[in-house]
A and B are shown apart, each in its own frame.
Chain A
Amino acid sequence: MDERERRMRARNRALLVVLLALVALFYVIAIVRISGG
């Protein structure tokens, strides 16, 4: 695997983690706001 491909894969993984974290974040925010927090 060349450097370009290795970096692209690392960026894709980081983006996946960020997107999953955002899904969890918005879910938790919604639950807290609905429950009157």
Chain B
Amino acid sequence: MSELPTSVLAPYAGAAVGDYVQILKPRVMSLVVFTGFVGLVVAPGHLHPVLAAVAVLCIAVGAGASGAINMWYDRDIDAVMRRTASRPLPAGRMMAGEALGFGVVLAVFAVAVMGLAVNWVAAELLALTVAFYVFVYTMWLKRRTPQNIVIGGAAGALPPLIGWAAVTGDVGWGAVALFAIIFFWTPPHFWALSLYRAGEYEAAGVPMLPVVAGARETKRQMLLYTLMLWPATLAPWLLGIAGPLYAVCAGGLSLVFTGAALRVWRERGDGGERQARQMFAFSLLYLFLIFTALLADHLGGGAW
């Protein structure tokens, strides 16, 4: 594989600082950081604010490292898809080795600092998250099975556990509930996107569910996972780590999300691109609001 993204007309000027930021996938990182932060806040116990900030920084850097290594590995298929073709590697603004080296250094740094400054359980979970995303999702599952984002979604669901473990030094049932929320949210979120990007995934040879099983089956499974979100989002209330008003918020949001999945499901055949786009956009807001409700509930003393 060519390592030098140069042309005969313009010598390689080296990647810009903005390119290094872009390969960290800052938009994905923001949601990861937020869910990790909520896990840290709602966990029972106390952590010095400086160490809490260090833990959140390590989660952010670990997520960024995963993104950089993912972009290194996927640079061939990123070049095929319109959504990803302008990323630094496929666009020729950065050398593959730069991205890999950057990602590996950041991953080692994040895990080491988490272990030395916070605790080694959180550090091990962070290492597991990065390894799962890189080896299990990116290298093993993504190009082989339509269940790629179901199993691989576990990596995106781990940050609240890391935040929780940073405070408690272990993983409690409350942390598992937060994991379950993101785990069951991931399939309808990604499949909504892949419904209206199916052609690009097919061209790149990525066996996303709409490519392999068709739009109808994808919509059915999206609805099923959305229904599984009900017990998952209500679990924090049932486990006593959130109050009844959180439960009302979670129920209301899940009702709207289920409605969005139903609107996608009702569209027969390959139709329903507009509904899928709406569901994808709402899915981001949904997860953000669920975790915001948890945070607000905790800061309000569980009274609301």
Contacts and interface: CB of A to CB of B under 8 A. Distances in A.
Interface of A: 2-4, 7-8, 10-11, 14, 25, 28-29, 32-33, 37
A3 B12 CA distance: 9
Nearest to A28: B50
Given A29-B117, A33-B117, A7 B51 contact: no
Given A8-B14, A11-B16, A37-B51, 15 more contacts: A2-B13, A7-B13, A7-B15, A10-B16, A10-B17, A11-B15, A11-B17, A25-B57, A29-B50, A29-B113, A29-B116, A29-B117, A32-B51, A37-B48, A37-B50
B240 interface: no
Nearest to B46: A37
A4 B116 CA distance: 38
Interface of B: 11, 13-17, 20, 48, 50-51, 54, 57, 113, 116-117
5 contacts: A7-B16, A28-B50, A29-B117, A32-B48, A33-B117
A29 B52 CA distance: 11
Contacts of A4: 11, 13-14
Contacts of A29: 50-51, 54, 113, 116-117
A4 to B, nearest CB: 4
B274 to A, nearest CB: 41
Contacts of B16: 7, 10-11
B14 A32 contact: no
Given A32-B48, A33-B117, A37-B48, A25 B14 contact: no
Contacts of A33: 117
Nearest to A36: B48
Given A25-B54, A28-B50, A29-B50, A7 B117 contact: no
A10 B20 CA distance: 12
Contacts of B116: 29
Contacts of A28: 50
A2 B50 CA distance: 42
Nearest to B12: A4
Contacts of B113: 29
A10 to B, nearest CB: 5
A3 B13 contact: yes
B54 A7 contact: no
Nearest to A35: B48
Contacts of A32: 48, 50-51
B50 A7 contact: no
Q: Lowest 3 CB-CB distances: which A-B pairs, in order?
A: A37-B48, A4-B13, A3-B13
